[in-house]
Amino acid sequence: MLRIVVCVKAVPEPKAAEDIKIDPVTKSLARMEVPLVINPLDRNALEAALLIKEHDEAHITVISMGPPPAGDIVKECLALGADHGILLSDPAFAGADAFATAYTLAIAIKKIGQQDLVLCGRASSDGATEWVGPELAVFLDLPVVTMVREFAETENATWQVKADIEHGYRIVQVQLPAVFTVTQDLNVPRTLSFSGIIKSRKKEITTWSLEDLAIPANSVGLEGSPTIVSKLEYVESKRECQIIDGTLEEKVEQLISKLIEAGAI
């Protein structure tokens, strides 16, 4: 049986992006003040695991680090088809950068036991560092393939995957266990179903605190984060409307010039 871990993050609902405030002290996003959803690319990662499970025997554990409300997205993952959920929740975990997040996740994954495949979204829609997956692989001492857009199992746990690179893709063979970070091109995530929610009634969410992970407090959260955010500012996007006059040909000429000038084409 293939043992799969999918790492998911609770991120602010994209439609509520304008309501997100920045905490002036921690310089992190005040996520709890807006509705939280599963990070969109993590849904692609979960979908990949669910598709594997449709064809092969597999056990899917979803793991997330966040405050108690993040448990809602773990519950949602169970309703989508994951078998077990783990929420890493402790005030000490707050303010973690990608490094501390990856470290904490890695400790928790080791605590679960031997896994064959760890799947993560390529990036989160809020932090967007793209580091958690690769750093997680380092902490787990596993090979990692980033930006996976297609994969197919081959032989003896050797998987062939197609992964994006700038202006193209690469085909990689990797021996499991491994960590993959996935892109939105990998699949179209399924939507929640009512029967899935009913089935999730019997599935468990385990909550682990700092004490459960038995690691020092200064290795996690803000204290364990080497990244220093010196400044975080709101970006105001402004719209500008220009009326182009002239004949149709002149308008097209002007439009093309303006688009080139703006670097749009």
Q: How far is the CB of 102 from other proteins (least distance, A)?
A: 29
Nearer to other proteins by Cβ, of 78 and 161: the residue is: 78
Do the beta carbons of residue 64 and residue 45 sit within 8 Å? no
Which phi and psi angles does 99 have, rounded to 5°?
Answer: -65, -50
Query: How far, in Å, CA of 62 to CA of 50, rounded?
Result: 11
Smallest gap, in angstroms, from Cβ of residue 128 to other proteins?
Answer: 23
Binding residues (CB under 8 A) for other proteins: these are 72, 75-76, 79, 191-198, 201
Cα–Cα dist 111/74, whole Å? 18
Identify the three-state secondary structure at position 102.
helix
Least distance from other proteins to the Cβ atom of residue 82, Å: 14
Question: Which CB sits closer to other proteins, 114 or 191?
Answer: 191
Q: What type of residue is 65?
A: M
11 exposed, middle or buried (CB, 10 Å; 0-12, 13-18, 19+)? buried
CB 238, min distance to other proteins, A = 13
Q: How far is the CB of 19 from other proteins (least distance, A)?
A: 13
Min dist. Cβ of residue 75 to other proteins (A): 7
- DSSP helix/strand/coil, 77: helix
Nearer to other proteins, 197 or 215 (CB): 197
State how far the Cα of 184 lies from the Cα of 86, in Å rounded to an integer.
24
Q: Which is nearer to other proteins, 156 or 195 (CB)?
A: 195
CB of 117 to other proteins, least distance (A): 26
Q: Which is nearer to other proteins, 168 or 234 (CB)?
A: 234
Closest CA to 122 of 143, 140, 145, 88: 145
- Cα(232)–Cα(212) distance, rounded to whole angstroms? 33
Q: What does DSSP say about strands 2-7 and 117-121: parallel, antiparallel, or unpaired?
A: parallel
Which is closer to other proteins, CB of 198 or CB of 252? 198
Cβ proximity to other proteins, 72 vs 135, nearer residue: 72
The CB density around residue 240, as the number of other CB atoms within 10 Å, is 4
